Amino acid sequence: MGEGSTRDRILTAGEALFAEVGFEGATLRRLTTTAEVNLAAVHYHFGNKEGLFRAVLERRLAPINAERLRRLDLLESRSASPSLEEVVEAFVGPMLSVQQDPRAVAFVRRLLGRICTDQGGEWIPHFLAQFSGVKERFAVAFQRALPALSPAEVAWRMHFSLGATAHAIADETRIAALSDGLCDPRDSETLLAELVRFITGGLRAPQREERS
Amino acid sequence: MGEGSTRDRILTAGEALFAEVGFEGATLRRLTTTAEVNLAAVHYHFGNKEGLFRAVLERRLAPINAERLRRLDLLESRSASPSLEEVVEAFVGPMLSVQQDPRAVAFVRRLLGRICTDQGGEWIPHFLAQFSGVKERFAVAFQRALPALSPAEVAWRMHFSLGATAHAIADETRIAALSDGLCDPRDSETLLAELVRFITGGLRAPQREERS
DNA sequence: GTTTGGGTAAAACGATCGTTTCATACGAAC
DNA sequence: GTTCGTATGAAACGATCGTTTTACCCAAAC
């Protein structure tokens, strides 16, 4: 932890610590100790603890959402109607594979899942703001791939897909216990393949029958 | 908050407070203030803060898991091979409808979802212990309803189903933003119907093609 | 009547938190 | 060489945390 500027060391250590113990569980003293940085440096560079957290979030979320849009652009430039599997993979894949940095993976797998489930906190609007552009683009893409569904049903199923993804990505131990060792949570490739298959299946489920 | 014994008032207030701000965010002083209980009473009745949290969890989880098994027993007594929809609803339904107590609903919708995503914490084994009996029973039921899938694939998809459920149940605001107001997160009936449909669709997705 | 023990009340304990203050070191601008 | 804004280090501040201690109330047991 002795490389990079002070600011970068704080960001990196904060990312790891927030991912490990969450926002409230993280301590600036523990953070500055592992980062080999003075305690006051956090407030100098980021204002306060929450400012640091927002900076940590943005550093990783921006590339993920950019990659999502890039892949969707690519799909739509190739075909007027991309397949559902392609759209799902463009949405889910970047969370698992944007960065080769293992620290980024740790962030996504632990912190992002935690954020998605956290109710309180003032950073959720800040988090959704970056996500909003992505949401609309993919809502349109999903609706096109699933013309039989109503917009409300598309929204519900995107919601469920997000949940399955967040849970699967955040998990590092439960799937092993659930499967009695059959499934390896670190096998990102299998995880992505199974997750995409599950989500596409759920999205393609027959629509609600209208009582006529 | 002026009814019931001291112990019950602590449990009820703790349930609400943990659901609102999480374990680390909850303060015993705020808890004892709203419960109109002395600070020391928490340690007298529950040992410490974590003991109180475990007691809060158990009070709500036990009925849910009991109801799950009861419904599964009922299904299997009626038919040798219950339909997938029935099994999914027996698994998901109790989380939304076991108790008519609105405080129990608040607990399930906020705290349980949070627990499912929380990585650290010592109560997860304690939580899984109660869940373990449920897990095996439903794993068998799902495997029977989906004979084409490998055990590993059944485990993966149960895992994803749990994630979609936890996310959907914990959410109270995001689906409204995601759907631009089309979907109402408080409409438990629609939520359950859409969720069951999504999960059954995901579980029924075509299996991984073996490269021969 | 006295004793006993479960339950509650008030107060303080030590620890640790996020934050602030103040002094200092360093490099660029003039 | 002096000045000045940026950055860091050391120390302390006030607040609040979970927990413990001590004393008190009161109904049941003897």
Please give the tally of structural domains in chain A.
2
The total number of residues shown for chain A amounts to 212
For B59-92, write each residue's pLDDT tens digit: 888 888 999 999 999 999 999 999 999 999 999 9
- In this structure, of A68-77, B34-43, B99-108, B201-210, the range with the lowest mean pLDDT score is B99-108
DSSP per residue, B103-170: HHHHIIIIIIHHHHH--S-SHHHHHHHHHHHHHHHHHHHHHHH-TTS-HHHHHHHHHHHHHHHHHHHH
CATH number of the domain within which B165 lies: 1.10.357.10
What mean pLDDT value characterizes chain A?
85
The answer to whether residues A68 and A34 belong to one domain is: no
* Nearby residues of B98 by Cβ (< 8 Å), 6 or more positions away: B63, B64, B67, B104
Q: Rounded CA gap, B11 and B164, in Å?
A: 28
Same domain, B17 and B115: no
Which of A27, A132, A178 should be substituted to probe chain B, the one whose Cβ sees the most B Cβ atoms within 10 Å?
Answer: A178
User: Are residues B184 and B161 part of one domain?
Assistant: yes
Contact residues, chain A, for B151 at CB < 8 Å: 179, 182
Residue B85 and residue B163 in one domain: yes
Q: How far is B85 from chain A (nearest CA, A)?
A: 12
Residues A31 and A97 in one domain: no
Is some CB atom of chain A closer than 8 A to the CB atom of B174? yes
B124 and B92 share one domain: yes
Number of residues that this document lists for chain B: 212
Task: State which amino acid sits at residue B202.
Answer: G
Both A154 and A74 in one domain: the answer is yes
Kindly determine whether residue B168 and residue A157, on different chains, have CB atoms separated by under 8 Å: no
The answer to whether residue A53 sits within a structural domain is no
Q: Does A197 touch chain B (CB under 8 A)?
A: yes
Q: Quote the pLDDT of residue B4.
A: 77
Residue B44: Cβ within 10 Å count: 11
Interatomic CA–C1' length for residue B52 and nucleotide D26, angstroms: 27
Residue B95 pLDDT more than 60?
Answer: yes
In a domain, B101, yes or no: yes
pLDDT at A170: 76
* Spatial CB neighbours of B89, under 8 Å, sequence gap ≥ 6: B71, B192, B196
Confidence class of residue A24 from pLDDT cuts 50, 70 and 90?
confident
Chain A from 110 to 149: CB within 8 A of any B CB: 110, 113-114, 116-120, 128, 135
Contacts of A120 by beta carbon, 8 Å cutoff, 6+ apart: B20, B21, B22, B25
Q: Does A50 touch chain B (CB under 8 A)?
A: no
Strand C proximal to A40 Cβ, under 7 A: yes
One domain, residues B28 and B90: no
Q: Do B41 and B66 reside in the same domain of the chain?
A: no
State pLDDT tens for residues B138-158.
999 999 999 999 999 999 999
Residues of chain B contacting residue A177, judged by C-beta atoms under 8 Å apart: 128
Residue B62 and residue A177: Cα distance in Å, rounded? Answer: 20
pLDDT at residue B125 is higher than 50: yes
pLDDT tens sequence across A45-75: 999 999 999 899 888 888 889 999 999 999 9
Q: Is B53 among the domain residues?
A: no
Cα B9 to Cα B38: distance, rounded to the nearest angstrom = 11
Indicate if the pLDDT at residue A212 is higher than 50: no
Average model confidence (pLDDT) for chain B?
Answer: 85
Per the structure block, which two tokens stand in for B78?
A: 């009626």
Q: What is the share, in percent, of chain B residues with pLDDT greater than 70?
A: 84
The answer to the question of residue A211 being in a domain is no
Domain that holds residue B32: 1-47
Q: Which of B155, B178, B193 has the CB atom closest to A183's CB atom?
A: B155
Domain identity same for B32 and B100: no
Q: Which residues, at least 6 apart from A206, have a Cβ–Cβ distance to it below 8 Å?
A: B197, B201
Please give the protein residue whose CA is closest to the C1' of the nucleotide D21.
B40
Please check whether residue B170 touches A, CB under 8 A: yes
Distance (Å, whole) CA B28 – CA A167? 30
Q: Would you say A203 and A157 are in contact if contact means Cβ atoms under 8 Å apart?
A: yes
Is pLDDT at A210 greater than 60 in this prediction? Answer: no
- Report the CATH number at residue A30: 1.10.10.60
Largest CA distance in chain B: 69
pLDDT one-digit tens code per residue, A150-200? 999 999 999 999 889 888 887 777 788 888 899 998 888 899 999 999 999
Does residue B67 fall inside a structural domain? yes
Q: Which helix (H) or strand (E) holds B179?
A: none
pLDDT range class, residue B212, cuts 50, 70, 90: very low
Q: What is the mean pLDDT of residues A119-148?
A: 80
Q: Indicate whether B112 and B70 sit together in one domain.
A: yes
